[in-house]
Structure 1
């Protein structure tokens, strides 16, 4: 079912991308020199669709890096909570073993066994 839905979404996108590439295959001058009008020093000829695809790819990369950097606090908090959870589980196990070793002679009952979350 998921494969069908992927095809249903990706096929029209692929068709649009191919049509864009075919319609915009004429070469354009990409210039990195804003001060020279005639023949700029830093320029290249490439198809317009290649320029569009490169701009989209660059946008995806920059957006992904920005998103990753923006989530740094969340990742740091999650690591800290994971360490705290690990410490608390170890402490619970240590207390469970101590309670089992002392036995019911102290009037305490043993802690229940941990629940498996598989």
Structure 2
């Protein structure tokens, strides 16, 4: 089901991207020198669709990084909560192991007492 939904989203977006690339094939000059527009120190000539796609990809990556940084507080709180839960579970497991060991010791003592009585000789009859 999710694969079908994914295909229903990806196929139209792919068709739109190809149409955008075909319609915007003319080369444009991208200059990173704001002080000398006539003779830029660094410029590159690329098709317009490459500029559009690069801006789109840069926006997605930058948005992901900003979101990841802003959610750091929540990840840290979750990590601390997991650590505390493990610590509490370990303490509880230790208490449970101690209780279980005590029960086992009492059973063993009761078994030894019963075993000693079972192996003893009967009292003499007169």
* Smaller-chain TM-score bracket: 0.7 to 0.9
Residues 79-106 of structure 1: CA distance to partner in whole angstroms, max 9, x if unpaired? 111111111111111111111223397x
Normalising by structure 2, report the TM-score. 0.78
Cα–Cα, structure 1 residues 101 and 37, in superposed 2: closer, same or farther, change >3 Å? closer
Normalising by structure 1, report the TM-score. 0.83
The size of the alignment, in residue pairs, is 105
Write out aligned runs for 1:69-80 (5 A): 69-80=69-80
Once superposed, what is the RMSD of the aligned Cα atoms? 1.5
Which piece of structure 1 moves more, 66-75 or 3-12? 3-12
Counterpart of 1:47? 47
Question: How many Å apart are 1:6 and its aligned residue?
Answer: 1.2
Residues 2-60 of structure 1: CA distance to partner in whole angstroms, max 9, x if unpaired? 22211111111001000000000100010111121322111110000000000011111
Write out aligned runs for 1:20-39 (5 A): 20-39=20-39
